[in-house]
Amino acid sequence: MSALARRMNAQQALALPLPAASNTVVINARCSLRIELDQRVIVVAGLPPTMRGFKIAHGKLGKQLRSVRDRVAQLSAQRQDLPPRVEVRDLNERAVVKLATERKHLTDIIKMVAYQAESDLLALMRPHYARAGSRGANAAA
């Protein structure tokens, strides 16, 4: 048996085209006419669907998108009406807590001592690590 005969025997039967839906009229092998939401839509095989057909098929999504866009525009307008700066005393009716000068000095000293300790630790590590200079804060942490 020749190779051609084997291939012919091995061929499968071609599938028949699916029957058209009740709202579809087949024009030819590539084109059909379909009715969607009281609109006639021509479907051509191999071509992307038209924008009109897309809008018909996804009308609910379009409505949701438009409502969200309107809401964003409304919120943007509200944001533009807000003042650019708001003082802290306007936000809260209670008195603003301000640290006493001595307490602030104490916290500043603690921060400086912590920074100095980190720097000293890095100086001790530098001879043992090749990249301690480029990433010193990461190595000491």
Highest mean pLDDT among 8-12, 18-22, 107-111: 107-111
> Which band of pLDDT confidence, cut at 50, 70 and 90, is reported for residue 41?
confident
Question: In total, how many domains does the chain have?
Answer: 2
Regarding pTM above 0.85, the answer is no
What is the per-residue pLDDT for 102? 87
Indicate whether 73 belongs to any domain. Answer: no
Q: Which of 61, 78, 112 is the last residue of a domain?
A: 61
In whole angstroms, give the CA distance from residue 63 to residue 58.
9
* pLDDT on residue 47: 61
Residues 6+ apart with CB under 8 A from 45: 29, 30, 31
First CA to last CA distance, the chain: 79
% residues pLDDT > 70 (the chain): 72
- Residue 118 is assigned to a structural domain of this protein: yes
Angstrom distance (rounded) from CA 49 to CA 28? 17
| Alpha-carbon dihedral sign for residues 126, 127, 129, 131 | positive
> Residue 129's domain spans which residues?
99-140
Q: 45, 61, 77 — which closes off a domain?
A: 61
114 vs 121: CA distance, rounded Å: 11
Q: Does 4 map to a domain?
A: no
